[in-house]
């Protein structure tokens, strides 16, 4: 059996090696390393794939989130609703811009609680940032209805959900990141669509916002050396674009591979009272950036160590919710405020999930997890 890895980028690369190497060599031969033709080509490929009017490539997913908030005309002190169970970047960029992140609880599907969002709205609320965590979309029908009622912006954090499809109540469908005012994604190497370094993009159907995003990402310029606003320097380089252009052709195939692995996990853990398998939202396809179990009365640290000894890696995303992080603690938040997020942080465990998992590996993983659970029950 091959060595089991949380993410097997090497095996994935070997299958597309010739195409990737050819694309990289084309960039080297052209010497157009920044804003070269490969960036434009990839941008257009993404626009076509997603059915969205504008894709603006940027330096990374965090930049995508920050730039998105920068172009909305928000003022210091304006409130942005963010889930407390997420990667820190979602709140980090808001704080850096002088905005107030209003943290709210999630549901056991790992996405924003609609009721929590409703309760968090105040006259200072200006935006909602739903995080489509682990690979499936939040309840966008409800969130868009709330946004329309209160005249709020919606900035989708689709950094883990590229390729996921949302079906609205009226039967129409859209890709993750293409439903709100703006959508953000990351091309970090371990993402479902990942490059060989850092990269990200912003999606929108709004011409004005797209123009502002391009300006902000280019030092605030629309005309060279004329700076209309304070901006940043954030761009996807040509080599990364060449790699992503190749991998985008295989994204649907990668999604099916991940879903196949997830289905195996689901079936093999069926009836196991000690774990809760990931919920599948009926309105969203799941692209399984992560396959995350909720453990019932299991010593997670002991289980992780036990699995590691058997050659099965695992990860905890995220062990401390944002409201309990030192950098984001405030008088408004206390332990116990967000019981679902706190429960998840204490009990989630993510198993290996990537495009190269085979039946032998999957069988070994689930067997070891079930044996490890028996050996590490608290009661």
* Domain layout of the chain by residue ranges: 9-248, 251-375
- For 256-269, b where at least 16 C-beta lie within 10 A, e where not — what string? ebbeebbebbeebb
Helix 89-96 × helix 61-70 angle, to 10°: 40
Could you count the other beta carbons within 10 Å of the beta carbon of residue 310?
Answer: 14
Pick the CATH number of 251-375 from 3.60.15.10, 3.90.1150.10, 3.40.50.300, 3.30.420.40: 3.90.1150.10
Cβ burial of 185 (10 Å; 0-12, 13-18, 19+) is buried
* d(C-alpha 283, C-alpha 83), whole Å: 20
Q: Residue 100: helix, strand or coil by DSSP?
A: strand
What is the percentage of the chain residues whose pLDDT exceeds 90?
94
**Residues contacting residue 187 through CB under 8 Å, at least 6 positions apart:** 60, 61, 193, 194, 195, 198, 199, 200, 201, 236, 240, 244
CA dihedral 61, 62, 63, 66 (to 10 degrees): 130
- What predicted TM-score, i.e. pTM, was given to this entire model? 0.96
> What integer best gives the mean pLDDT of the chain?
96
Q: How far apart are CA 162 and CA 352, in angstroms?
A: 19
Mean per-residue pLDDT for 44-71?
98
| pLDDT, tens digit (0-9, with 9 covering 90-100), for 306-354 | 999 999 999 999 999 999 999 998 878 889 899 999 999 999 999 999 9
CATH topology of domain 9-248: 3.40.640
In whole angstroms, give the CA distance from residue 311 to residue 164: 31
């Amino acid at each position: 059996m091959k060595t089991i890895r949380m993410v097997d980028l090497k095996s994935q690369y070997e299958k597309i090696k010739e195409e990737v190497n050819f694309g990289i060599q084309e960039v080297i031969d052209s010497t157009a390393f920044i804003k070269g033709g490969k960036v434009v080509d990839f941008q257009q490929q993404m626009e076509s794939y997603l059915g969205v009017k504008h894709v603006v490539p940027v330096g990374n997913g965090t930049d995508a989130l920050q730039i998105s908030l920068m172009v909305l005309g928000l003022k210091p002190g304006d409130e942005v609703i963010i889930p407390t169970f997420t990667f820190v970047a979602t709140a980090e960029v808001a704080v850096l811009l002088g905005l107030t992140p209003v943290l709210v609880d999630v549901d056991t599907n790992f996405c924003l609680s609609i009721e929590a969002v409703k309760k968090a709205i105040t006259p200072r609320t200006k935006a909602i940032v739903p995080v489509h965590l682990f690979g499936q979309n939040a309840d966008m029908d409800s969130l868009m209805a709330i946004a329309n009622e209160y005249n709020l912006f919606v900035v989708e954090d689709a950094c883990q959900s590229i390729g996921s499809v949302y079906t609205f109540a009226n039967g129409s469908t859209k890709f993750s990141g293409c439903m709100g005012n703006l959508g953000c994604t990351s091309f970090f190497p371990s993402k479902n669509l990942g490059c060989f370094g850092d990269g990200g993009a912003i999606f929108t159907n709004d011409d004005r916002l797209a123009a502002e995003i391009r300006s902000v990402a280019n030092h605030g310029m629309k005309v060279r050396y004329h700076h209309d606003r304070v901006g940043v320097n954030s761009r996807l380089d040509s080599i990364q674009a060449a790699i992503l252009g190749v991998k985008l052709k295989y994204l649907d195939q990668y999604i099916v591979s991940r879903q196949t692995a997830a289905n195996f996990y689901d079936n093999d853990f069926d009836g196991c009272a000690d774990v809760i398998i990931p919920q599948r939202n009926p309105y969203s396809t799941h692209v399984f950036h992560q396959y995350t179990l909720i453990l019932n009365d299991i010593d997670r640290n002991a289980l992780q160590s036990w699995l590691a000894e058997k050659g099965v890696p695992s990860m905890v995303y995220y062990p401390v919710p944002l409201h309990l992080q030192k950098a984001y603690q405030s008088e408004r938040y206390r332990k116990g405020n967000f019981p679902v997020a706190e429960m998840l942080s204490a009990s989630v465990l993510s198993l290996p999930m990537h495009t190269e998992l085979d039946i032998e590996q999957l069988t070994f993983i689930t067997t070891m997890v079930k044996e490890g659970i028996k050996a590490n029950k608290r009661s």
